[in-house]
Structure 1
């Protein structure tokens, strides 16, 4: 049966309280919603362009610090001497000044990657970037189970940007008393964790006895960032990948999955062999 013709309506401009939309229902109700902002951020180190990232334009200084640390560009944020962010709207630029030692190491890294081709994961050097050597974390206790009680609800209460616009991941830090100390949000799950890492370092938040939480799936890249930042326990609201569990056990990162409707699942450290699987 042919579809009925509909009258053409020109697109509506953004409403004062958001973007207008029409419901795909017989009543075709028109309403408006606030949508999250996104921008392209070009990052340069000591005048050399390094990367362009799509990010949410909030807490950008935290993002730069966390990205620089978790990507292995600096070992400590003390190597970052200055961050200057310019631009507005959909295009921003971050000029980062590094110490001479950190900049020399970055140039050596870029020189090694210069010969790689195509997809960005081709060649020995690129694989070493994807599967880098990481330090083993010191042994640390798991958080008390009660610190995970109602955690999903508590996270929703502090995700202020997501409540109004949606489409945002969050990374949070829960302190040794079980209180949410920091929450950072972004369209990118990696970016949210970088922002949290940057904030932890910049604000010198005591991490002992605390843990980080990500609202997204937990893949290997997030593990890289957590281990490099010295985070000893990572909780994810979505299940981790098998490779992430393997690496978490290898590097002594406590890894916990918090399902929607069942008890928290501790994947790392590994359970005793006799309890690892019971049919």
Structure 2
């Protein structure tokens, strides 16, 4: 049955706990939910994401920014999210004048590399030029360590399930101002950027803290949101460091409670 509300991010299931000494006991465990989210822009089916069914309007707005379907000059748009038996359908109308960009991206996403030229076009779309980051972070290492200490306080879904990533907006003083969670690290960051955009919030000399590895997609999302510093718990890929350098995005990776690696 269809509904207007988002689904619940938690479900409870029963398991058998099997121990090494041969005992078996029934246990209940909370699991993070994951459902298909079908995103439609201007009546066109654009993408299906597997995501935690929470903060869907933030997810769609952040995703549109990351896909470059809208720009920093565009106002946030409304999202109609409908729960169905199969998942969530999220519908949005892009600002006037963005239809050509939408149709161009749909063409590239839907095309198959049946010839060399098409393949080259798709590769160019996959690694598109990035703008330069204009914002600057005022955070020092103590601010980063402070944020790392308090990040678990902003991860209720992960605390309950052990299966969710977090993306946090951190102030220059290390205080966490906003966080979003999702089973997907990309979704969590899109939700954070979308929520900040809806609030009219800027990075304000702070940084983004992600409970994940530093992939090139996350670097691109950070750059497109003009994030002044990206901090991740795990290591980066080579492409992520190259893309960050090209865009002037400072990276802090392998950020742990006692040490971190900084690349500027």
TM range (shorter): 0.7 to 0.9
Aligned residues: 249
What pairs with 1:38-77 in structure 2 (closer than 5 Å)? Answer: 38-76=34-72
What pairs with 1:245-264 in structure 2 (closer than 5 Å)? Answer: 245-260=241-256, 262-264=258-260
- Conserved 8 A contact 1:40-1:55: yes
- Identify the residue that residue 143 of structure 1 maps to in structure 2: 139
Please state if 1:185 is matched with 2:181. Answer: yes
| TM-score using structure 1 length | 0.83
| TM-score using structure 2 length | 0.87
- Identify the residue that residue 25 of structure 2 maps to in structure 1: 29
Q: CA deviation at 1:172?
A: 0.4
SS in 2 for 1:152: helix
Structure with bigger gyration radius: 1
The two structures, once aligned, show a CA RMSD in angstroms of: 2.0
**Change beyond 3 A, Cα 1:191–1:114:** closer
Cα-to-partner distance string for 1:187-206 (whole Å, 9 max, x where unaligned):
11100000010011111223
**Change beyond 3 A, Cα 1:51–1:77:** farther
Alpha-carbon distance between aligned partners in 1 of 2:187 and 2:73, rounded to the nearest angstrom: 17
Alpha-carbon distance between aligned partners in 2 of 1:46 and 1:245, rounded to the nearest angstrom: 35
Alpha-carbon distance between aligned partners in 1 of 2:89 and 2:73, rounded to the nearest angstrom: 19
Q: CA deviation at 1:159?
A: 0.2
What pairs with 1:165-204 in structure 2 (closer than 5 Å)? Answer: 165-204=161-200
- Conserved 8 A contact 1:39-1:89: no
Please state if 1:83 is matched with 2:55. Answer: no
Alpha-carbon distance between aligned partners in 1 of 2:73 and 2:41, rounded to the nearest angstrom: 14
Greater shift, 98-107 or 86-95, is seen at: 86-95
**Change beyond 3 A, Cα 1:81–1:138:** closer
Alpha-carbon distance between aligned partners in 2 of 1:206 and 1:82, rounded to the nearest angstrom: 20
**Structure 2, unpaired ranges of 5+:** 1-10
Please state if 1:107 is matched with 2:103. Answer: yes
SS in 2 for 1:101: coil
SS in 2 for 1:129: helix
- Conserved 8 A contact 1:38-1:90: no
Q: CA deviation at 1:250?
A: 1.7
Q: CA deviation at 1:64?
A: 0.5
**Change beyond 3 A, Cα 1:79–1:107:** farther
Q: CA deviation at 1:178?
A: 1.7
**Change beyond 3 A, Cα 1:150–1:27:** farther
Q: CA deviation at 1:113?
A: 5.2
Please state if 1:160 is matched with 2:156. Answer: yes
- Identify the residue that residue 217 of structure 2 maps to in structure 1: 221
Greater shift, 196-205 or 96-105, is seen at: 96-105
Cα-to-partner distance string for 1:99-118 (whole Å, 9 max, x where unaligned):
23111221133335554337
- Conserved 8 A contact 1:79-1:98: no
**Change beyond 3 A, Cα 1:153–1:27:** farther
SS in 2 for 1:126: helix
What pairs with 1:201-212 in structure 2 (closer than 5 Å)? Answer: 201-212=197-208
